[in-house]
């Protein structure tokens, strides 16, 4: 299918686009260091062009001590030497653009690294001009200001004896939170953003943007009192003028908030990237490590609500995977016998909806979770939870079971390019183990097989560019209580799309709505048609009632 280029001068081009997330550390190494690099990404642009994507969300490549794999930035305007040089970055932007691919960079504006010049200055004295760039509380060493916990474990406060103060960090101790109440700090951040705009990037993914407006007294930092005011200023100062795409990561967004974030007047951001559909398998009051069974009706209801409420009023991201989440085929699919079918089915279900789809590297190959021993894990969150839970008396075997299901390292194993050594990712020693299943799950094999998961994603991307109903259609959920089938329609005035997905390994029957009788099957994950829905089968039917009437 020939790639249809989007007119990126037009506001809202990203509503017809499909993005691809690259986690640079694990994508392609060209130096033998065992860590992916920018030249590696450049060498794989043809592959991404063939897939058909319109933009790359690049996880952070700025200078960083890598305590949290680059989400701890020590210089916002420098490329970490581990990934290459600023020249490599420039080449990546230019080469991607030639292929119709925009580069969207990750902005970590909620916190910096403790190695950032600002924080080092801030530590010098309470009167240092940079001291107020961070969030401090006076007190004494014996008792943190409150009970707030850090996402990666322990208290969210760290004591600095020579200042007699605590500083706030919602994530690791080495990721002090920035003080957005300070206007000089905010202005400096906008300057960094303009630096990247001048370099040629076409948008930004804003890390934990709902956590920037803090009110630590409340012990909750999501959706703080001045959040939307800050976002409007950020947008006006840094990207609204040029119509650059901006994607806000917001774990705390409900549909009402999301409408503010992604209002069509572009006063805040282009779209919201929220996680309600991901957190459904988490019980209230428990955390993600307490794995509970999945409920398809709950998942459907969640998608229905977001689809209905944002239609015409906001814009959502569509994703199942990113660098923080386990592989979807190992969660909602079947990573054994029906890996290929279920990977395609999940993609079909997601890409048929309203929003901008994101493919996380390797998802287009149907990459799976990995089974690692504790000593092979790298992620700070994973290692901390093991330590904490075992100390609390949990059975280490149980803790390992939830780590295998939930660890972020599942997403971070190297991209599987070939069946050869280290999956073609590196000639050195990979920084994190390569999944042994690269012997049969790899890009080389996928490209050679017309029925591969890769080619299914390629078709989905092509369909989104062919039929406006993918962007514009209103959503209606069918059979909401069915525990095995996810089916919905999308409708514009004349175009109609039906998506039917079997979430089980059984054959099932499904009665398509009468108006779809005789409609064209535009996609399926089986080579032949059958009266029943086979294991993990997914189909898309489409018709345009104007064309139909003409044919009559
Ligand atoms: O993630 C935000 C975030 O809250 C996650 O860390 C999430 O809570 C966690 O994965 C759940 O287990 C962003 C980045 O995507 C993540 O990689 C960073 O570690 C984090 O922010 C801090 O910058």
Atom of ligand 1 nearest to the CA of 406: 12
Nearest to 385, CA basis, from 409, 413, 414, 367: 409
User: What is the whole-number distance in angstroms between the Cα of residue 71 and the centre of ligand 1?
Assistant: 8
Strand partners, 540: 499, 523
Ligand 1 and 71: CB distance under 6 A: yes
φ, ψ (nearest 5 deg) of residue 325 = -120, 145
* Cα 120 to middle of ligand 1, angstroms: 24
Catalytic residue among 63, 177, 207, 324: 207
Calculate how far, in angstroms, residue 176's C-alpha sits from the geometric centre of ligand 1: 14
Please, how many CA atoms are within 13 Å of residue 58, restricted to the half-sphere of its CB?
Answer: 26
Known catalytic residue at 207: yes
Conformation bin of residue 34: beta by default, left when phi > 0, alpha when psi is -120 to 50: left
The residue contributing the CA closest to ligand 1 atom 22 is: 71
Is residue 462 within 8 Å of residue 299, measured between CB atoms?
Answer: no
Catalytic residue among 29, 249, 281, 381: 249
With a 6 Å cutoff on the Cβ, whether 208 touches ligand 1 is yes
pLDDT of residue 10: 86
- For a pocket test of ligand 1, which of 178, 208, 388, 389 has the largest count of ligand atoms closer than 8 A to its C-beta? 208
- Pocket lining: 381 vs ligand 1, CB cutoff 6 Å: yes
In this structure, which residue's CA is closest to atom 18 in ligand 1? Answer: 71
325 CB under 6 A from ligand 1?
A: no
Residue 27 CA to residue 45 CA, distance in Å, equals: 12
The pTM (predicted TM-score) of the whole model is 0.97
Residue 222: predicted pLDDT? 87
- Give the model's pLDDT for residue 219: 74
The answer to whether the CB of 63 is under 6 A from ligand 1 is: no
Q: Of all protein residues, whose CA lies closest to atom 5 belonging to ligand 1?
A: 324
> Number of helices and strands (H, E) in the chain?
16, 18
SS3 state at 495: strand
**Cβ of 72 below 6 Å from ligand 1:** no
Atom of ligand 1 nearest to the CA of 170: 22
Q: Is 249 noted as a catalytic residue in this protein? A: yes
Report which of 153, 114, 107 is spatially closest to residue 380, judged by C-alpha positions.
153
Q: Which fold has domain 20-109+183-461?
A: TIM Barrel (3.20.20)
CB of 434 closer than 6 A to ligand 1? no
Residue 278's pLDDT is what?
93
User: Which ligand 1 atom is at minimum distance from the Cα of 108?
Assistant: 23
Q: Where does residue 284 rank: exposed (0-12), middle (13-18), buried (19+ CB within 10 A)?
A: exposed
Q: Which CATH number fits domain 473-550: 3.30.565.10, 3.40.50.2020, 3.30.300.30, 2.60.40.1180?
A: 2.60.40.1180
Closest residue CA from atom 9 of ligand 1: 324
For atom 12 of ligand 1, the residue with the nearest CA is: 324
Contacts 24+ apart (CB under 8 A), 527-531: 527/451
Task: Return the CA Rg of the chain.
Answer: 23
Please name the residues in contact with 510: beta carbons below 8 A apart, sequence gap of 6 or more: 485, 487, 500, 502, 533
Cβ neighbours of 399 (radius 10 Å): 19
What distance in angstroms lies between residue 256's CA and the mean position of ligand 1's atoms?
22
Q: How far apart are CA 519 and CA 545, in angstroms?
A: 10
Q: Decide if 443 contacts 51 (C-beta within 8 A).
A: no
Nearest CA to ligand 1 atom 11: 324
CA 92 – ligand 1 centroid, Å: 26
**Distance in angstroms (rounded) separating the CA atoms of residues 305 and 303:** 5
Q: What are phi and psi of 521, to 5 degrees?
A: -85, 110
Selection from 92, 112, 116 nearest residue 104 by Cα: 92
Q: Which atom of ligand 1 is nearest to the CA of 110?
A: 23
Question: What's the CA-to-centroid distance between 324 and ligand 1, angstroms?
Answer: 6
pLDDT in tens, the chain (552 residues): 455 688 888 889 999 999 999 999 999 999 999 999 999 999 999 999 999 999 999 999 999 999 999 999 999 999 999 999 999 999 999 999 999 999 999 999 999 999 999 999 999 999 999 999 999 999 999 999 999 999 998 999 999 999 999 999 999 999 999 999 999 999 999 999 999 999 999 999 999 999 999 986 767 788 899 999 999 999 999 988 787 999 999 998 999 999 999 999 889 999 999 999 998 877 777 788 888 888 999 999 999 999 999 999 999 999 999 999 999 999 999 999 999 999 999 999 999 999 999 999 999 999 999 999 999 999 999 999 999 999 999 999 999 999 999 999 999 999 999 999 999 999 999 999 999 999 999 999 999 999 999 999 999 999 999 999 999 999 999 999 999 999 999 999 999 999 999 999 999 999 999 999 999 999 999 999 999 999 999 999 999 999 876 654
CATH fold of 117-168 reads: Oligo-1,6-glucosidase; domain 2 (3.90.400)
207 lines ligand 1 (CB under 6 A): yes
Alpha-helical regions (H) of 319-379: 339-351
Q: Is 251 in the pocket of ligand 1 (CB under 6 A)?
A: yes
Q: Where are the domains of the chain?
A: 20-109+183-461, 117-168, 473-550
Tell me if domain 20-109+183-461 and domain 473-550 are identical in fold: no
Residue 478 beta carbon below 6 angstroms from any ligand 1 atom:
no
With a 6 Å cutoff on the Cβ, whether 409 touches ligand 1 is no
């Amino acid at each position: 299918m020939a790639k249809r280029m989007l007119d990126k001068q037009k506001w809202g081009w990203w509503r017809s686009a499909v993005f691809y997330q690259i986690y640079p550390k694990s994508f392609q190494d060209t130096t033998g260091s065992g860590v992916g690099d920018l030249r590696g990404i450049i060498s794989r642009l043809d592959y991404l062009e063939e897939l058909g994507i319109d933009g790359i969300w690049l996880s952070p490549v700025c200078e960083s001590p890598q305590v949290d794999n680059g989400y701890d930035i020590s210089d916002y305007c420098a490329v970490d030497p581990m990934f290459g040089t600023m020249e490599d970055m420039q080449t990546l932007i230019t080469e991607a653009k030639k292929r119709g691919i925009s580069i969207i960079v990750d902005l970590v504006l909620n916190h910096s690294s403790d190695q950032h010049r600002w924080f080092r200055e801030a530590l010098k004295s309470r009167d240092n001009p940079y001291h107020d760039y961070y969030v401090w509380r006076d007190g004494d060493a014996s008792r943190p200001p409150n009970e707030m916990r850090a996402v990666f474990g322990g208290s969210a406060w760290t004591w600095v004896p020579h200042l007699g103060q605590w500083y706030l960090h919602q994530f690791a101790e080495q990721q002090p939170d920035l003080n957005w109440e300070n206007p000089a700090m905010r202005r400096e951040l906008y300057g960094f953003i303009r630096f990247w705009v001048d370099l040629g990037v076409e948008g930004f993914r804003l890390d934990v943007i709902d956590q920037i407006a803090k009110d630590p007294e409340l012990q909750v930092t999501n959706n703080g009192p001045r959040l939307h005011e800050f976002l409007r200023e950020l947008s006006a100062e840094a990207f609204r003028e040029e119509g650059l795409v901006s994607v806000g990561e917001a774990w705390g967004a409900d549909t009402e908030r999301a409408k503010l974030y992604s209002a069509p007047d572009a006063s805040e951001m282009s779209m919201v990237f929220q996680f309600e559909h991901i957190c459904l398998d988490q019980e209230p009051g428990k955390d993600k490590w307490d794995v509970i069974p999945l409920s398809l009706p709950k998942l459907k209801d969640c998608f229905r609500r977001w689809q209905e409420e944002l239609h015409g009023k906001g814009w959502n991201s569509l994703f199942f995977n990113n660098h923080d989440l386990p592989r979807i085929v190992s969660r909602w699919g079947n990573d054994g016998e029906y890996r290929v079918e279920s990977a395609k089915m999940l993609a079909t279900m997601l890409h048929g909806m309203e929003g901008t789809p994101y493919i996380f590297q390797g998802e287009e190959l149907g990459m799976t979770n990995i089974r690692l021993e504790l000593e092979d894990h790298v992620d700070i969150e994973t290692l901390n939870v093991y330590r904490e839970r075992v100390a609390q008396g949990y059975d280490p075997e149980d803790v390992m079971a939830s780590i295998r299901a939930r660890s972020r390292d599942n997403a971070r194993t190297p991209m599987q390019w070939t069946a050869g050594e280290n999956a073609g990712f590196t000639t050195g020693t990979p920084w994190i183990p390569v999944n042994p299943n690269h012997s049969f799950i790899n890009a080389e094999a996928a490209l050679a097989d017309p029925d591969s998961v890769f080619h299914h994603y390629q078709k989905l991307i092509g369909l989104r560019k062919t039929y406006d109903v993918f962007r514009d259609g209103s959503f209606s959920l069918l059979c909401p209580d069915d525990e095995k089938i996810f089916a919905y329609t999308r409708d514009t005035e004349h175009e109609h799309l039906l998506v039917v997905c079997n979430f089980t390994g059984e054959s099932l029957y499904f009665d398509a709505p009468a108006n779809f009788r005789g409609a064209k099957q535009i996609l399926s994950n089986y080579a032949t048609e059958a009266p029943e829905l086979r294991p993990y089968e997914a189909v898309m039917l489409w018709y345009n009632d104007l064309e139909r009437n003409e044919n009559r």
